[in-house]
Amino acid sequence: MNKESLVEKAYQIAIERYAAVGVDVEKALQALQKISLSLHCWQTDDVTGFEDPNAQLSGGIQTTGNYPGKARNIDEVRADLIEAASFIPGNHRINLHASYGDFGNKKVDRNEVEPAHFESWMQWAAENGFKLDFNSTSFSHPKSGSLTLANPDKDIRGFWIEHTIRCRAIAEEMGKRQGSPCIMNLWVHDGSKDITVNRLYYRQLLKESLDTIFATEYKNMKDCIEAKLFGIGAESYTVGSYDFYLGYGAKNNKIVTLDTGHFHLTESIADKISAVLLFTPEIMLHVSRPIRWDSDHVTIMNDDTLDLAKEIIRCDALDRVNIGLDYFDASINRIGAYVIGSRATQKCFLQALLEPLSALREYEKNGQFFERLALLEESKGLPWNAVWDYFCLKNNVPVGEEFITEIQKYEKEVTSKR
C-alpha cells in the first residue's frame, strides 16, 4: 500500500474515532481550510529591508545567527516566500513592513513612502494568490532613537506621525486592490533604558500622536496597536504598554495586537482572548515562541500555542482573530523556519477544531467535572495527526517530514549560492 493510500485509510479511521465523541472531522477541516496565516516577510532576510543593505538593526530589534543564504533583495525575498508557502497547506497572506518597499535603488525616507512603492508588491501578490498585510516601521532609522511617536521633539514626532499616516494610506490601497481588508499593525519601540520620571508625559504624547494618525477613517484597512513589556535598550519603561494600548483600543474601537512574546512568561495569552474580545472589535495575533523573553524563536506545537488556538475556537472567534507569525530566526534555514512555524500553528488550530467541545460543555453544565477532565485528557490521544496528514495530502503539500528534503534541495540549488 502506497503512502497516499495509508494516509486516506488512517483518515477514515480517524473520522470514525472522532465521531464516537461527537466531532465532525470534515467540518473541522473545512474550518481549517479557511484559516489564513499572515506570513512575515522579515524572516527571509533578518529584518534588513530594502532601504540600506548595510544598515544595522536598532530600536529594540535584534536577530541572532548567521545561517547562510539570507535573501538580499526583493526578488529573493519573494522567491523564498513562494517556496515556503508551497509547503504550507491552505491559502495565506504576506505581512510587509514599510521598509520592504520597492524603492528602485532610490533614497526614500520613511515620511515619503506611498502606495507607488508597493505597487509591484500588490501585483506580485495578486499573481501568486496572496493577500497583503502591512506594518509601519519605526526602528533602524537615524531618527528612531529611544522615542518616536512619543518624542518631545516636535519635528521628530511629526516625522513619525507622517510616516504612519502614509502607511495607513498604503494599507488602504492594498485592501482596496485585493478585495480584503489589509491589517495594518502599529508598533513603536518608544521607552527608556533606565528610570524615567515622565511616564505620563510620554504617554500623553503617544496618545496625541495616535489621535492624529487615526483621524482619517478608511474602509479597506484595519488598524492594530501592539504593546510590549520591554525592549532591548528600553528595559525600564515602555510607553506603549499593554495597559496603554488596551485602554486606547477599547476606547477608540481599535484592534489590539497580542504578540505571544511580549508578555511575562508566566502570563497566559490564551486567557486574554475572551477578555479582550469583549471590548475590542477584533484581535491580531503575532505568534512566536519566547525563550526566557521575546527571543522570537520559531513557533512549535507547544502548550502555549495549543492553548491559544483552543481558546479562540472555544470562543467561536475565528472571524474576529487575525493570525500572523512574528519570529526571525537566523540560526537555521530560514525557509525551514517558515514551514515549521506555520505548520505547527495550523496543527494547533486543527487540534482545537477537533476538540469534543459539545460533550465537554455538557459535562461542565451538569457539574460533571471528573468527566470533563477525563475527556480533556483522553482527547489528547485522539488521531488528530491522521487528519493533519490528510489535510496536507488534500492541499498537495508534502505529508509529514517530506518537506525536509525539498527544502534541502532549495538550499543546495538556490540559497547556498547567494
pLDDT tens digit sequence for 348-359: 999 999 999 999
Q: Whole-angstrom Cα distance, residue 379 to residue 382?
A: 5
What is the pTM assigned to this prediction?
0.96
**Cell 465521531 belongs to residue:** 19
φ, ψ dihedrals at 320, nearest 5°: -120, 5
Q: What is the DSSP letter of 45?
A: T
Question: What are the residue numbers of the active site?
Answer: 187, 226, 228, 259, 262, 286, 294, 296, 326
In which element (H, E) is residue 271 found? helix 269-277
Q: Whole-angstrom Cα distance, residue 188 to residue 210?
A: 11
Q: What is the pLDDT of residue 60?
A: 76
Q: What is the pLDDT of residue 52?
A: 79
Cβ atoms 302, 289 nearer than 8 A: yes
pLDDT tens per residue, range 38-75: 999 999 999 999 997 777 777 777 788 899 999 999 99
C-alpha cell belonging to residue 35? 484559516
Q: What is the DSSP letter of 234?
A: B
Strands 289-291 and 293-297: antiparallel
Neighbours of 91 (CB within 10 A): 15
Amino acid making up residue 345: T
pLDDT tens per residue, range 106-154: 999 999 999 999 999 999 999 999 999 999 999 999 999 999 999 999 9
Q: Whole-angstrom Cα distance, residue 256 to residue 286?
A: 11
Amino acid making up residue 229: L
Q: Whole-angstrom Cα distance, residue 37 to residue 82?
A: 14
The residue among 77, 143, 75, 152 whose CA lies nearest residue 112 is 143
Q: Whole-angstrom Cα distance, residue 84 to residue 44?
A: 10
Angle between helices 334-353 and 303-314 (to 10 degrees): 40
Cα three-residue angle 366-372-375, rounded to 5 degrees: 140
**Where in the chain are all domains bearing CATH 3.20.20.150?**
36-353
Q: What is the pLDDT of residue 232?
A: 85
The residue among 224, 47, 59 whose CA lies nearest residue 151 is 59
Amino acid making up residue 198: N
The residue among 293, 291, 313, 318 whose CA lies nearest residue 302 is 291
CA contacts within 13 A on the Cβ side of 95: 26
Q: What is the pLDDT of residue 295?
A: 87
Amino acid making up residue 77: V
Cβ atoms 226, 210 nearer than 8 A: no
Q: What is the pLDDT of residue 293?
A: 87
Cβ neighbours for 219, distance < 8 A, ≥ 6 positions apart: 172, 175
- Sequence length of the chain is 418
Q: For each of the chain's 418 residues, which pLDDT tens digit applies?
A: 788 999 999 999 999 999 999 999 999 999 999 999 999 999 999 999 999 777 777 777 778 889 999 999 999 999 999 999 999 999 999 999 999 999 998 999 999 999 999 999 999 999 999 999 999 999 999 999 999 999 999 999 999 999 999 999 999 999 999 999 999 999 999 999 999 999 999 999 999 999 999 999 999 999 999 999 988 888 999 999 999 999 999 999 999 999 999 999 899 999 999 999 999 999 999 999 999 888 899 999 999 999 999 999 999 999 999 999 999 999 999 999 999 999 999 999 999 999 999 999 999 999 999 999 999 999 999 999 999 999 999 999 999 999 999 999 999 999 999 9
pLDDT tens per residue, range 303-321: 999 999 999 999 999 999 9
φ, ψ dihedrals at 378, nearest 5°: -65, -30
Q: How does the average pLDDT of the chain come out, rounded?
A: 96
Q: Whole-angstrom Cα distance, residue 366 to residue 359?
A: 11
Amino acid making up residue 29: L
Q: What is the pLDDT of residue 63?
A: 83
Q: Measured between alpha carbons, how far is residue 112 from residues 76, 118, 157, 339 in Å?
A: 25, 13, 15, 34
Helix (H, G, I), strand (E, B) or coil at 382: coil
Q: Which class does domain 36-353 fall in?
A: alpha beta
Q: What is the pLDDT of residue 415?
A: 96
Amino acid making up residue 371: E
Q: Whole-angstrom Cα distance, residue 352 to residue 380?
A: 10
Rama region for 49: left / alpha / beta (φ>0; ψ in -120 to 50; rest)? left
Q: Is residue 275 packed enough to be buried (19+ CB in 10 Å), middle (13-18) or exposed (0-12)?
A: exposed
Radius of gyration of the chain (CA): 22
Q: Whole-angstrom Cα distance, residue 114 to residue 81?
A: 23
Of all residues in the chain, the percent with pLDDT exceeding 90 is 92
